Structure 1
């Protein structure tokens, strides 16, 4: 079992705390590593190192900084299989998903930002002014467990390219992928203090970062509750705060499909919702279908869900691994039980333990019907393999249902007519809408409306989040 230190000032150093946090493999329920239960003093040391490194790092050209991203990208690709296994071990993601998504996405993100060094408009002239984009300073990044390498890279790559230095707090549930990235940066010779990692708990390390007077920006991905606390902590020092929070995304399946197209749309919605065990803020957890096809949709959804049989994530054929922790498993099962108590019907799945799985934090893939549109399961983020199907009367009713949530992160539209589908997508109050399984685009901004947060990640908009704007008149 590996025992990690914190990474500060280009060195692996002991925490000032003698307490450790065990990292639990959610498949075996056994500890596979420990990380420091970090302290405010650890944060102070990391911020001091980042502040010291900032002048030299920020004075480099974007192209010089991009060279480090290229080197990191190359080393990450070399170690892709090894680091994918880390994701499977700490998160429980099926190994096929770890290889394709958990590694493919951060590799693509590093490559994209390296290219943006030449493509981004760092400076322009407007009449008698020079408009320049400059780094903010020291960035505090607080990342979640559900995409433990991607979420770190989505913040780190643009922040570094912009010329900022970083203090990172990864989730205590799945911190090992962040440590892998620290190893990469260490081995490629990233200057000391440019990237620092302090593990620990949100109420200690996260609070110390968000209220720290020498951290100029906080970039956070996680729950709305934690995002609210971070915003309040940051207010005293007027630091910039970028928040990527929860979602309760709807998939609108239009009424212009034939039976084959309708079946494919239902299947795609279920597959999208259950990817990564449903532990994703963009999961299409509400499926909206024409009322006349409601029973047919339930039949198709049941068949699609049952193909996601829970199993060993190290098996290449497994599509649904365990939840990240015992608490998360119990949370998801609780949602199912309360939904049933509130009048919903289990079409398939349920809160009982899957048969034959005596160990591991597994949840059955579950389809619910008959839930009220304002019920807990319809309004709150489950973060597990649970999808609820709702009928709608007409497309105006579908749009109303889709927008009837405090969140606005993502949505999906499936339709036979491309123009009509796009027209519906324009009416949805969400930061990104996939039309007929639109492909992932590394240059497209990612972020949400309403209580899904503020700010954007990825692409040029994601880079701009980490930059100040200066006007110089002459």
Structure 2
């Protein structure tokens, strides 16, 4: 497997407007998941690094919060433009450390980040920050110093949501990115370093979540924590922050349904199934919003199984730099072990394997590859139905009419995303407890709010809602003689 890419300088941390060595000497290896080879290393940040970054951000707060929204918007647009200018190199880096096929990395991983910063610039300019109520002037003001902790599956898109949202709102930010897929984030830091923003407005401290992430959440000058990751880790973040009486926004896991109504004709039924599979395997299934529960009319189950088995066979796995590859590896050995464990458990519990299984695709003994796998004829309380797998694994469930389909869709602790297909899809969509519901394959809208219900967390990101979490409200009562 091959692929050419130019590594960024990952030797230092970005704190207080400068690149500086970390306080410790430990480094964290970054692996290419398609080759299993170490391709880079990054600083393993320490509590001292977190402290320096947080205090730099606190020093920057009065300066950056006073900058007019139009200037903050201009900074976000400048970031968007420079990311776009470096898009090809960034796509190579995401392919190298995440394993997403290069054919999609440019448009999805990098393209979304470019769009996010531009949309947040619009949000900063369009937001109404002040109004009069009675004898009071009510303003929305920056929440303070933001601690941002981001995941590995969308290493630029999720960073853009938090860094862009905080900067647009006037809040300095300390970013702890995933140590698994950090390469593009160091390029982003270089972009921001070149803007000449006030020192401390943006800070990057890489490292492990248990050390750097928890130190960030617990730091006394951090006013707000925005976290994206697993539900378990999010609960830990919320618990730590609650001990300091500090607010959080959590974007967590999902086990999202795709409901196919019975009024679809045969062609539309097949098209919907193929659409769901393609969307859910886009990042090797490593998406919290993936529609991994496909809910079909009971009497069409056999047909659905045949269509999905055939569709899975069209997903060629292999070198993500190969233009013909549609399915890359999962991100790490640990993730492969986890996904295979879910598959093996489902088989042991009696689920029918429509296609796939726990082994690697043929001819791919190197790399963290998992075969696209579809299960069917499963119990509603089985683990494969209720637990997030975060890999190329789908499960087919059945319904006996619209009301039953809604009940099956809502029978989950999560509530991040959903899809509905059929003539009455929009009316049904409003009955599903999920933060985003696509109708007839409409797809992700980067201008819409993103976030979930229940175990999927709280708070919203992107679009006009993308700065709300980073603002708080202040009222000044005017005295009248």
Fold shared per TM-score above 0.5: yes
> Which residue does 2:3 correspond to in 1?
none
Distance 1:3 1:209 in 2: 21
Residues 1:469 and 2:473 aligned together: yes
Among 420, 442, 453, the alignment partner of 1:449 is: 453
SS at match of 1:356: coil
Checking the alignment, whether the CA contact within 8 Å between 1:134 and 1:469 is kept in structure 2 is yes
Distance 1:160 1:458 in 2: 13
Aligned residues: 471
Among 333, 352, 360, the alignment partner of 2:359 is: 352
Where do 1:38-57 residues align within 5 Å?
38-57=45-64
> Which residue does 1:290 correspond to in 2?
297
Residues 1:369 and 2:376 aligned together: yes
Q: CA-to-partner distance for each residue in 1:252-299, whole Å, 9 max, x for gaps? A: 000001100100011111111111110000011100000111000011
SS at match of 1:196: strand
Once the two structures are TM-superposed, the CA of residue 456 in structure 1 deviates from its matched residue by: 0.6
Residues 1:87 and 2:94 aligned together: yes
SS at match of 1:260: helix
Q: CA-to-partner distance for each residue in 1:189-232, whole Å, 9 max, x for gaps? A: 22211110111111111110111111000000001111111111
> Which residue does 1:35 correspond to in 2?
42
Residues 1:113 and 2:120 aligned together: yes
Distance 2:251 2:287 in 1: 12
Once the two structures are TM-superposed, the CA of residue 316 in structure 1 deviates from its matched residue by: 1.5
Distance 1:374 1:237 in 2: 37
Among 174, 189, 194, the alignment partner of 2:196 is: 189
Distance 2:294 2:143 in 1: 41
Checking the alignment, whether the CA contact within 8 Å between 2:449 and 2:466 is kept in structure 1 is yes
Where do 1:323-402 residues align within 5 Å?
323-402=330-409
> Which residue does 2:431 correspond to in 1?
427
Checking the alignment, whether the CA contact within 8 Å between 1:66 and 1:117 is kept in structure 2 is yes
Among 208, 211, 214, the alignment partner of 2:218 is: 211
Residues 1:259 and 2:266 aligned together: yes
Distance 2:161 2:10 in 1: 26
Query: What's the C-alpha RMSD, in Å, of the aligned pairs?
Result: 1.1
Residues 1:16 and 2:23 aligned together: yes
**Which runs of no fewer than 5 residues in structure 1 stay unpaired?**
none
Among 145, 151, 161, the alignment partner of 1:138 is: 145
Checking the alignment, whether the CA contact within 8 Å between 2:119 and 2:464 is kept in structure 1 is no
Residues 1:78 and 2:85 aligned together: yes
Distance 1:282 1:113 in 2: 21
Checking the alignment, whether the CA contact within 8 Å between 1:138 and 1:217 is kept in structure 2 is yes
Greater mean deviation of Cα atoms: 123-132 or 92-101: 123-132
Among 178, 181, 187, the alignment partner of 1:171 is: 178
Greater mean deviation of Cα atoms: 307-316 or 322-331: 307-316
SS at match of 2:467: helix
Distance 2:143 2:79 in 1: 23
Once the two structures are TM-superposed, the CA of residue 184 in structure 1 deviates from its matched residue by: 0.5
Once the two structures are TM-superposed, the CA of residue 4 in structure 1 deviates from its matched residue by: 2.3
Distance 1:72 1:459 in 2: 16
SS at match of 2:106: helix
> Which residue does 2:325 correspond to in 1?
318
SS at match of 1:275: coil
- TM-score of the aligned structures, taking structure 1 as reference length: 0.98
Distance 2:197 2:377 in 1: 55
Checking the alignment, whether the CA contact within 8 Å between 1:266 and 1:300 is kept in structure 2 is yes
Checking the alignment, whether the CA contact within 8 Å between 2:124 and 2:467 is kept in structure 1 is no
Among 394, 413, 428, the alignment partner of 2:420 is: 413
Residues 1:276 and 2:276 aligned together: no
Once the two structures are TM-superposed, the CA of residue 3 in structure 1 deviates from its matched residue by: 4.3
> Which residue does 2:207 correspond to in 1?
200
